[in-house]
């Protein structure tokens, strides 16, 4: 494969979580929402398909979605870009801000896609370990880099850095700082209010988690209009399908429906954390729709495998064998999970 760029040949591809095609799994491995989206989203899609044609291209800049965003988040359309999931927007940010030999810094462990995107650019990922309390590493705050990424709340830990620390990071950084807020609706505060004061801030959001629309592929990038103008140069002309735009518009109109599901998930999260602690797990303090657990230094592959055999999927990362990341599902799903975990652990003991 000598005709493939060396940088690509040498790197590992990003490995997404399993998406089983078989029915019947309790799926707690990729942080999807266990509740369906507002029924009005589905109704709107069906209505659209029965009256309109897919023969035409979609709006290039998802104008009507941006109008809804303006109403909800208060940012005029020049401050927002809509993407095919926030992964597309992360991709664009790396392409625009990180070239060959540049340095991309981020606290680690985190979403490993950042490493993949940096390596594709032939940029150097600078992975700075979080301290034990998961506050921002000082070295990250003062790092000289071409791009800084902060996943907040962070995956896979679920931990959250308060806004004051994010503000300090922005004050100390002259490069662009992307805050990936895929899970922020499950956390106390967003960095969006800092946007008007810091032109180097970019904030990525998604409808995949809190709005139960991972299958629709919709993400938003908020940034200063001059910054977005540059990023738009790298965007596909028709990056968001007509159906995704129609669904996103209705989902935003139904934001209260989504926020009720968020409240339910947060309350399930508190109960699940307590139950797991009773079983002897250490549960990282989570402000997301998942928890990261460990049990001393035990390799948890056995638990992942036995749960999978029982058709419960959680996330096991071979590079971090002492941890499992578990999405918060419905109360009924979590009852089954907790019961199975108890049985498996007692069986092993």
Binding region for ligand PLP (CB under 6 A): 31, 85-87, 111, 151, 155, 180, 182, 206, 208, 214, 219
Nearest to 326 by CA among 50, 29, 96, 10: 29
Residue 83 bridge partners (DSSP): 219
CA dihedral defined by 101, 105, 106, 110, rounded to 10 degrees?
Answer: 20
> Would you give the distance in Å from CA 225 to the centre of its chain?
23
Nearest to 225 by CA among 193, 196, 191, 190: 196
Of 34 and 85, nearer to ligand PLP (C-beta) is: 85
- Smallest separation, CB 160 to ligand PLP (Å): 12
Of 151 and 341, nearer to ligand PLP (C-beta) is: 151
Using alpha carbons only, give the angle 141, 175, 165 rounded to the nearest 5 degrees. Answer: 30
- Smallest separation, CB 288 to ligand PLP (Å): 9
- Smallest separation, CB 247 to ligand PLP (Å): 14
CA dihedral defined by 111, 114, 120, 121, rounded to 10 degrees?
Answer: 180
Of 31 and 268, nearer to ligand PLP (C-beta) is: 31
Of 218 and 246, nearer to ligand PLP (C-beta) is: 218
CB under 8 A, 24+ apart: contacts of 52-56: 54/242, 54/243, 56/242
- Smallest separation, CB 31 to ligand PLP (Å): 5
Of 202 and 340, nearer to ligand PLP (C-beta) is: 202
- Smallest separation, CB 16 to ligand PLP (Å): 8
Of 161 and 340, nearer to ligand PLP (C-beta) is: 161
Of 44 and 325, nearer to ligand PLP (C-beta) is: 325
- Smallest separation, CB 77 to ligand PLP (Å): 20
65 within 8 A of 248, measured Cβ to Cβ: yes
Residue showing the smallest CB distance to ligand PLP in the complex: 85
The contacts of residue 67 (CB under 8 Å, 6+ apart) are 77
- Smallest separation, CB 319 to ligand PLP (Å): 16
Alpha helix (H) residue ranges in the chain: 6-10, 39-51, 63-73, 85-97, 113-120, 138-142, 163-172, 225-232, 242-253, 255-278, 301-309, 331-348
334, two tokens: 């979590």
Cβ count near 270 (within 10 Å): 11
Of 183 and 340, nearer to ligand PLP (C-beta) is: 183
CA distances from 61 to 49, 58, 74, 92 (A): 21, 9, 18, 15
- Smallest separation, CB 127 to ligand PLP (Å): 15
- Smallest separation, CB 250 to ligand PLP (Å): 18
Of 19 and 52, nearer to ligand PLP (C-beta) is: 19
Bridge-based pairing of strands 177-180 and 147-151 is parallel
């Amino acid at each position: 494969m000598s005709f493939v760029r060396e940088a690509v040949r040498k790197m590992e591809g990003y490995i997404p979580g399993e998406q089983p095609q078989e029915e019947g799994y309790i799926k707690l491995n990729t942080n999807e929402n266990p509740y369906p989206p507002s029924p009005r989203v589905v109704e709107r899609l069906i209505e659209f398909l029965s009256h309109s044609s897919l023969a035409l291209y979609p709006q290039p800049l998802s104008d009507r979605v941006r109008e809804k965003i303006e109403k909800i988040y208060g940012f005029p359309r020049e401050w927002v870009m809509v993407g095919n999931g926030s992964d597309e927007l992360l991709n664009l940010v790396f392409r625009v801000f990180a070239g060959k030999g540049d340095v991309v810094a981020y606290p680690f462990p985190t979403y490993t896609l950042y490493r993949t995107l940096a390596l594709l650019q032939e940029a150097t990922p600078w992975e700075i370990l979080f301290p034990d309390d998961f506050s921002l590493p000082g070295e990250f705050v003062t790092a000289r880099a071409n791009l800084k990424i902060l996943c907040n709340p962070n995956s896979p830990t679920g931990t959250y850095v308060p806004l004051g620390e994010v503000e300090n990071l922005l004050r100390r950084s002259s490069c662009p700082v992307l805050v990936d807020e895929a899970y922020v609706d499950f956390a106390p505060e967003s960095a969006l209010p800092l946007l008007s004061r810091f032109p180097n801030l970019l904030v990525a959001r998604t409808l995949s988690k809190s709005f139960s629309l991972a299958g629709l592929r919709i993400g938003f990038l908020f940034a200063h209009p001059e910054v977005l103008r540059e990023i738009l140069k790298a965007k596909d002309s028709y990056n968001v399908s007509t159906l995704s735009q129609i669904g996103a518009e209705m989902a935003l109109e139904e934001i209260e429906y989504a926020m009720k599901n968020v409240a339910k998930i947060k309350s399930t999260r508190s109960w699940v954390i307590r139950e797991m602690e009773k079983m002897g797990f250490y549960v990282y303090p989570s402000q997301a729709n998942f928890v990261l657990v460990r049990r001393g230094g035990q390799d948890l592959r056995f638990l992942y495998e036995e749960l999978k055999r029982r058709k419960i999927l959680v996330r096991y990362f071979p590079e971090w064998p002492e941890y499992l990341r578990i999405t918060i599902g419905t109360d009924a799903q979590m009852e089954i999970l907790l019961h199975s975990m108890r049985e498996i652990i007692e069986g092993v003991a």
